[in-house]
Amino acid sequence: MRRRILARLAIAACAASLLVSLSVTAPASADSSSPQQDKKDHRSEPRRIGYFTQWGVYGRDFQVQDLDRSGAAARLTHINYAFGNVSPQGTCFLESVPGEGDPWADYVRPVDAANSVDGVADTDTQRLAGNFNQLVELKKKHPGLKVLISLGGWSWSTHFSHAVSTPAKRTAFVKSCIDLYIKGNLPRDGARGGEGAAAGVFDGIDVDWEWPGSSGEDDTPYTPADKKNFTALIREFRTELDAYAKSQQRKGEPRKRYELSAFVPTAPAKIDAGFEVKKLMRDFDFVNLQGYDFHVSGEKTTNQQSALYAPNDFSVHQTVNDWLRRGAPAHKLVVGMPFYGQGWTGVSGGGNGMRQPNTGPAPATHQAGYEDYKVLKKLADSGAYTVHRDRKNGHAWLFDGTSLWTYDDPKVLRAKAGYVVDRGLGGAMVWSLDGDTADGELIRAIDRGLDDD
């Protein structure tokens, strides 16, 4: 399965209006329009959430075991598994159709001893193998680590609007997702799958609909009704997850809490088009804020993709404040952080390369204009590129006179983690874990920053 990785070009379309409507001031420890909340209120340890990509086990050769080997699993509180798909009929499904699903990677593929978390090879007779079984083994080794299934993403949000358009459709959709991922009733594939085969893999649902009420990928429909329907969908998920937890509760034991979250946008227009913030936040355990792709490699001018502050532009600070102003509790806002960079080539105009014309996306390993941090680190260490920093606004980029990469390195991520702590926010989320170095350099930087009181 190949996903068009985070090519959220819709962000760029909103930039012109934002320049007029936004007025983000210089960095500050508090914002007059959204008073700072005591960082110790309503929360315990900040969440550390990382996306694991289903397809990363192929070209990137990034296995679940690598999360243990790098030390990432010991530092994470949550793993979001990307992605679960929604069918044209409006249900969660798993089918081996090119571009639509990959059960082989999910739960059929036998993992050998060398790539297994517990060092034991999968057998031909076990019902659960592949990534799902490795996640089970990872949770055994790291008690307290939670795994959520993330539904949709940029490419697989196509059928959300249809799936939630009526009460009956929402009920059927939610039931299918809980049946497949929470109850673990997988389709049969030889010895694999069957009723309850994946029970215990997932601890909740992450809804990554891009975007209710506004444009996403070209083939993803949307309507004004999505806004209220999205609220109703989340209410349905919360009700049914709680009911299932109650039905499974054993006498004398605490009831399991199945967590419910979503990936949500940075653009104010998209927030207002699709999200009844105050109502939604009653049912969400947290939401992951889009903290990257503020500018992307398809744009004609180079720019920052993930700055902490950016006057009159998209930024982490702007995103946080826009959600706070609309009634989101600070302790439920998790800041998204990138483990990749956006890049341009043919950059002209001189200087440090920032905000200059270019001829197109820079060549890269897997997708033009998109490169993992572990590769960008090697470019920086080679001396061929100069590392530039905007220390006031909190972002970095590489420039060699021709090509420019905007990205987050450990210094930037540690500053962002400090911002999370200072503002009393809910934690940090990263896209995606396979972009980090083999020794988990980036996740360690975030972890240390979140531990700084």
pLDDT tens digits along 419-432: 999 999 999 999 99
Is residue 317 situated within a structural domain?
yes
Residue type, 157: S
Question: In the prediction, which pLDDT does 453 show?
Answer: 61
Tokens 């109650």, residue located: 246
Token digits for 448? Answer: 């240390």
Catalytic, 210? Answer: yes
Tokens 């993709």, residue located: 305
132 cis-preceded (ω within 30 degrees of 0):
no
**Whose CA is closest to 117, among 65, 58, 181, 45?**
65
Query: In CATH, what number is assigned to the domain containing residue 135?
Result: 3.20.20.80
Question: In the prediction, which pLDDT does 390 show?
Answer: 97
> What domain range includes position 211?
10-339+410-451
Question: In the prediction, which pLDDT does 452 show?
Answer: 83
Q: Give me the number of domains the chain comprises.
A: 1
Is residue 49 situated within a structural domain?
yes
Buried b (16+ CB within 10 A) or exposed e, 43-66: beebbbbbbbbbbbbeebebbbbb
Q: How far is CA 412 from CA 119, 436, 449, in A?
A: 36, 14, 10
Question: In the prediction, which pLDDT does 44 show?
Answer: 66
Tokens 């996740």, residue located: 443
Is residue 245 situated within a structural domain?
yes
Kindly give the parts of the chain with pLDDT less than 50: 1-43
Question: In the prediction, which pLDDT does 43 show?
Answer: 44
Is residue 2 situated within a structural domain?
no
Token digits for 36? Answer: 């700072």
Question: In the prediction, which pLDDT does 36 show?
Answer: 36
Residue 167 has phi, psi (to 5 degrees) of -55, -40
Is residue 389 situated within a structural domain?
no
211 cis-preceded (ω within 30 degrees of 0):
yes
The rounded distance, in Å, linking the Cα atoms of 153 and 51 is 11
Is residue 395 situated within a structural domain?
no
Question: In the prediction, which pLDDT does 45 show?
Answer: 86
pLDDT of 237-261, one tens digit each? 999 999 999 999 999 999 999 999 9
Is residue 383 situated within a structural domain?
no
Is residue 232 situated within a structural domain?
yes
Q: Which one of the listed residues 210, 236, 240, 299 is annotated catalytic?
A: 210
